[in-house]
């Protein structure tokens, strides 16, 4: 049966070993050994369907697929017949006859699931309105690289209860990381995802909390994470959101409350001076460019797992 990666939970009990594989692929790339020579995706094609803009996801997938010996096809939804009304289901049925895997950045999780439901090849969620699991795979890898472990750490997410927050909450629960999100009450993460994370956390003996006070959230945190206040597709809410979210800015005053060895994370792109200040984003605690780099390694590990015959 084909495997999809629509939610970070689709990694199941493979999550930790996927991170280990990603670390190995990273070392191999530096040394020019292993997959660099063996090209595990040789002769295989991956279609990348994008409905929204992207810098990191698009480039890290294209480069990663090439490094694995495969071929990447960038397919903007505007240029596909999908942009003129062909259904996602029919697009899935057709593209499955040509390619070995589909990576999809979608506006709606419903359409992501429709593509996966009608595709006979693995489907990878490259971000939708509910989750951003590839990002969180790279982020967990980055945290493990920095601290040598995940279990028992405290991660504070400050900002909008959005797609990144959802995958992070689930990924933390799966990894034994104590997670707290501080969001304005009107922008809290989905209750359904919160309940799912809470139930996963029971098995891994960690805590999952959602509160509204960023100062309480970051207290003694090992990791402070933020993301944009206005996600792609929410542009009309910009003015209103910017007012409500200002007390949730990650700045040096907030960082002073975290553990003194804490790292700061952001999936990027950042809106400097809004959710995060320049001094924090460019400061000694920031690991944002390691996170961006690790997208490459983590997604390669994911593709090898999903596509191996």
d(C-alpha 305, C-alpha 309), whole Å: 9
Q: Which is nearer to ligand CP, 56 or 166 (CB)?
A: 56
Which entry of ligand CP, ligand NVA, none binds 227, CB below 5 to 8 A by partner kind?
ligand NVA
Query: Site residues (CB under 6 A) for ligand NVA?
Result: 127, 162-164, 227-228, 231-232, 267
Which of ligand CP, ligand NVA, none does residue 170 bind to, with CB < 5 to 8 Å depending on kind? Answer: none
Residue 197 binding result from ligand CP, ligand NVA, none, given CB thresholds of 5 to 8 Å by partner type = none
Minimum gap (Å) between residue 120 Cβ and ligand NVA: 28
Active site residue 135: yes
Q: Which does 55 bind (CB under 5 to 8 A by kind): ligand CP, ligand NVA, none?
A: ligand CP
Q: Residue 3 catalytic? A: no
Q: How far is CA 36 from CA 1, 29, 62, 278, 293, in A?
A: 28, 6, 15, 37, 17
Partner interacting with residue 162 (select from ligand CP, ligand NVA, none; CB below 5-8 Å by kind): ligand NVA
> Which residues, other chains included, contact 188 with Cβ-Cβ below 8 Å and sequence gap of 6+?
161, 181, 210, 212
* Active-site residue (options: 58, 118, 166, 295): 295
* Residue 35 annotated to the active site: no
Whole-angstrom Cα distance, residue 141 to residue 149?
9
CB of 165 to ligand NVA, least distance (A): 8
In angstroms, the CA 16 to CA 128 distance is 23
Q: 56, 105, 113, 166: which one is catalytic? A: 105
Q: Which residue among the candidates 132, 144, 166, 297 is catalytic per the annotation? A: 132
Instruction: Output the six-digit token pair for 254.
Output: 């907030």
The answer to whether the CB of 301 falls within 8 A of the CB of 35 is no
Q: Quick check: helix, strand or coil at residue 41? A: coil
Minimum CB distance to ligand NVA smaller for 105 or for 113:
105
Asked if 55 interacts with ligand CP (CB under 6 A), we say yes
Q: By CB neighbour count within 10 A (0-12 exposed, 13-18 middle, 19+ buried), where does 151 fall?
A: middle
Q: Cβ neighbours of residue 136 under 8 Å, at least 6 residues apart?
A: 8, 164, 167, 168, 170, 171
Of the ranges 61-69, 176-184, 218-226, 266-274, which one interacts with ligand CP (CB under 6 A)?
A: 266-274
Residue 295: active-site member? yes
Q: Is 54 in the site for ligand CP (CB under 6 A)?
A: yes
Closest CA to 140 of 289, 308, 294: 294
Cβ distance to ligand CP smaller for residue 76 or 212: 76
Out of 134, 139, 227, 291, pick the active-site residue.
Answer: 227
User: With binding defined as CB under 6 A, does residue 231 bind ligand CP?
Assistant: no
**Contacting residue, 147, 212, 268, 305, with ligand CP by CB under 6 A:** 268
Residue 93 φ/ψ, nearest 5 degrees: -60, -40
Instruction: Indicate whether 267 belongs to the interface with ligand CP (CB under 6 A).
Output: yes
Beta carbon nearer to ligand CP, 80 or 268: 268
Q: 81 catalytic, yes or no?
A: no
SS3 track for 73-95: EEEECCCCHHHHCCCHHHHHHHH
Task: Find tokens 């970051």 and name the residue.
Answer: 218
**Residues sharing a CB contact under 8 Å with residue 115, sequence separation 6 or more, in sequence order:** 49, 88, 89, 91, 92, 102, 104, 106, 123
Scanning 229-286, the segments in alpha helix (DSSP H) are 238-245, 252-255, 278-281
Which of ligand NVA, ligand CP, none does 163 bind, CB closer than 5 to 8 A by kind?
ligand NVA
For ligand NVA, which residue has the nearest CB? 231
- Residues labelled as active-site residues: 105, 132, 135, 227, 267, 295
Judged by the rule CB under 6 A, the positions of this chain that interact with ligand CP are 54-57, 127, 135, 267-269
């Amino acid at each position: 049966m084909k495997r999809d990666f629509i939610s970070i939970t689709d990694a199941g009990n493979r999550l930790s070993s996927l991170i280990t594989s990603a670390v190995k692929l990273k070392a191999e790339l530096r040394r020019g050994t292993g997959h660099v020579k063996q090209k595990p995706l040789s002769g295989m094609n991956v279609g990348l369907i994008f409905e929204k803009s992207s810098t990191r996801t698009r480039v890290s997938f294209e480069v990663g697929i090439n490094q694995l010996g495969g071929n990447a096809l960038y397919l903007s939804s505007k240029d596909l017949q999908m942009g003129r009304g062909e259904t996602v289901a029919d697009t899935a049925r057709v593209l499955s006859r040509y390619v070995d895997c589909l990576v999809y950045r979608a506006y709606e999780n419903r359409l992501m699931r429709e593509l996966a439901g009608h595709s006979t090849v693995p489907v990878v969620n490259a971000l939708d309105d509910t989750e951003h699991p590839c990002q969180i795979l790279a982020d967990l890898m980055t945290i493990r690289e920095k601290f040598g472990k995940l279990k028992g750490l405290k991660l504070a997410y400050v900002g909008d209860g959005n797609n990144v927050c959802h995958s992070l909450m689930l990924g933390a629960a799966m990894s034994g990381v104590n997670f707290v999100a501080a969001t304005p009450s009107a922008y809290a993460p989905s209750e359904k995802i919160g309940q799912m994370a809470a139930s996963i956390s029971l098995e891994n003996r960690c805590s999952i909390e959602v509160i509204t006070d960023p100062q309480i959230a970051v207290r003694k945190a090992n990791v402070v994470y933020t993301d944009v206040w206005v996600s792609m597709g929410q542009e009309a809410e910009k003015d209103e959101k910017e007012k409500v979210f200002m007390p949730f800015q990650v700045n040096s005053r907030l960082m002073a409350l975290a553990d003194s060895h804490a790292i700061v994370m952001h999936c990027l792109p950042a809106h400097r001076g809004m959710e995060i200040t320049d001094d924090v984003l460019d400061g000694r605690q920031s690991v944002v460019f390691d996170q961006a780099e690790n997208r490459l390694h983590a997604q390669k590990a994911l593709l090898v797992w999903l596509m191996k015959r």
